[in-house]
């Protein structure tokens, strides 16, 4: 049931994070149940001369940083797409591409079509607080045949995020193509760092307000496992930028894949791995099934009995 502006205003000033979180969790479960997706992302520098490490476990290869020029952006996408094979390639901030198009004296759609021709599938992120014209630019992404990987916030300095979340809801009603929204800012204001309470409340409010956006996302690498886990209990349903490295030097339980699964299960939810296209690449596996598969002979013996 839609929440009225008066009800939202009360939620925004409320300190009852438990009630707000429960309401957000109801919205989340109505849409997703207990299913919680995550994506393993390999981050690649935008410099055309930087090395490219293709990690087979990655569900997305993301080119990070600001391209120096149109030619450099196209060349880097071509290099990474060649190395990626079937792994979807994302790249760049839509805000940076807006600026690059102006600097190069071309239309944004021309630049986006050039990048798609070079092998790009997804625009890595669109910071709603940095875009010149969010609706028009996101529509250009869609028309160019690309997909927006995630709508983000670069640095929201307002202590009341309600207006931003309402803008996200309005934008989604207009464009209808936003698949995931990450409500926690990518850049932290050193003069006013956020608290865990504020971060959790932001996630909950985002889920309640931006009810037309399919997924509310939290960044694993930026905000860490603990906040990500709590966010999943107050409205978030997707975890972004999990490490694609299968490092088991600290033991299999501390490997990135098992750690994200364990954290999701500990929140009472079902981990489902996806790729950048939001295709499921590894469905939910119960801990018992996984341990039996790892045991091999033990699993065979149990089936035999």
DSSP for 22-47 reads HHHHHHHHHHHTTEEEEEEEEEEESS
DSSP for 180-249 reads EE--S-SS--TTS---HHHHHHHHHHHHHH-TTSSEEEEEHHHHHHHHHHHHHTTT--EEEEE------T
Q: At what angle do helices 196-209 and 162-175 cross, to 10 degrees?
A: 30
Half-sphere exposure of 177 (CA within 13 A, CB side): 20
For the chain, the straight-line distance linking the first and the last C-alpha, in angstroms and rounded, comes to 50
Backbone angles phi, psi at 62, to 5 degrees: -110, 120
Does pLDDT of 203 surpass 80?
A: yes
Note the helical H segments in 118-195: 134-143, 162-175
Question: Across residues 263-288, what is the average pLDDT?
Answer: 88
What percent of the chain is predicted at pLDDT more than 70?
89
Question: Across residues 50-70, what is the average pLDDT?
Answer: 94
Written as six digits, the tokens of 304 are 């035999």
Question: Within 10 Å of residue 57's Cβ, how many Cβ atoms?
Answer: 16
Confidence band for 47, pLDDT divided at 50, 70 and 90:
very high
Question: Across residues 220-248, what is the average pLDDT?
Answer: 92
Q: What is the pLDDT of residue 245?
A: 87
User: How are beta strands 238-242 and 215-219 bridged, if at all?
Assistant: parallel
Written as six digits, the tokens of 228 are 């990500």
What is the four-CA torsion angle of 245, 269, 211, 155, rounded to 10 degrees? -40
Does pLDDT of 303 surpass 60?
A: no
- Which of 54-63, 72-81, 143-152 has the least mean pLDDT? 54-63
Count of helix runs (H) and strand runs (E) in the chain: 12, 11
Confidence band for 192, pLDDT divided at 50, 70 and 90:
confident
pLDDT digits (tens, 9 = 90+) for 147-157: 999 999 998 76
Query: In 3D, which of 247, 253, 173 has the Cα closest to residue 211?
Result: 173
Written as six digits, the tokens of 170 are 């309005």
Q: What is the pTM of this model?
A: 0.89
Give all domains of the chain, ordered by start, each with its CATH number. 5-31+41-241 (3.20.20.70)
Question: Across residues 292-305, what is the average pLDDT?
Answer: 40
- Which of 193-207, 268-282, 284-298 has the least mean pLDDT? 284-298
Contact 237, 31 (CB under 8 A): yes
Taking all residues of the chain, what is their mean pLDDT, rounded to a whole number?
Answer: 90
pLDDT digits (tens, 9 = 90+) for 24-42: 999 999 999 999 999 999 9
């Amino acid at each position: 049931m839609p929440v009225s502006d008066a009800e939202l205003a009360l939620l925004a000033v409320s300190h009852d994070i438990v009630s707000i979180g429960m309401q957000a969790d109801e919205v989340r479960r109505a849409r997703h149940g207990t299913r919680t997706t995550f994506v393993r992302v390999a981050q690649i520098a935008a410099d055309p001369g930087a090395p490219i490490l293709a990690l087979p476990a990655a569900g997305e290869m993301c080119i990070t940083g600001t391209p120096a020029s149109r030619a450099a952006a196209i060349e880097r996408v071509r290099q990474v797409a060649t190395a990626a094979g079937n792994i979807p390639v994302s790249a760049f901030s839509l805000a940076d591409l807006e600026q690059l198009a102006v600097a190069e004296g071309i239309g944004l759609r021309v630049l986006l079509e050039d990048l798609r021709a070079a092998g790009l599938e997804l625009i890595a992120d669109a910071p709603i607080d940095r875009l010149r014209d969010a609706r028009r630019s996101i529509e250009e992404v869609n028309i160019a045949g690309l997909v927006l990987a995630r709508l983000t916030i670069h640095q929201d300095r307002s202590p009341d995020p309600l207006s931003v979340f309402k803008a996200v809801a309005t934008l989604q009603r207009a464009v209808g193509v936003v698949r995931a929204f990450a409500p926690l800012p990518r850049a932290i204001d050193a003069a006013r760092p956020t608290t865990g309470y504020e971060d959790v409340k932001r996630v909950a409010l985002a889920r309640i307000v931006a009810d037309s956006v399919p997924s509310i996302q939290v960044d694993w690498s930026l905000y860490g496992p603990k906040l990500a886990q709590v966010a999943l209990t107050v409205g978030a349903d997707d975890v972004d930028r999990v490490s694609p490295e299968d490092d088991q030097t600290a033991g299999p339980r501390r490997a990135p894949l098992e750690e994200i699964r364990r954290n999701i299960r500990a929140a009472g939810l079902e981990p489902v791995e996806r790729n950048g296209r939001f295709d499921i690449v590894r469905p939910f596996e119960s801990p018992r099934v996984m341990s039996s598969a790892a045991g091999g002979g033990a699993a065979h013996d149990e089936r035999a009995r």
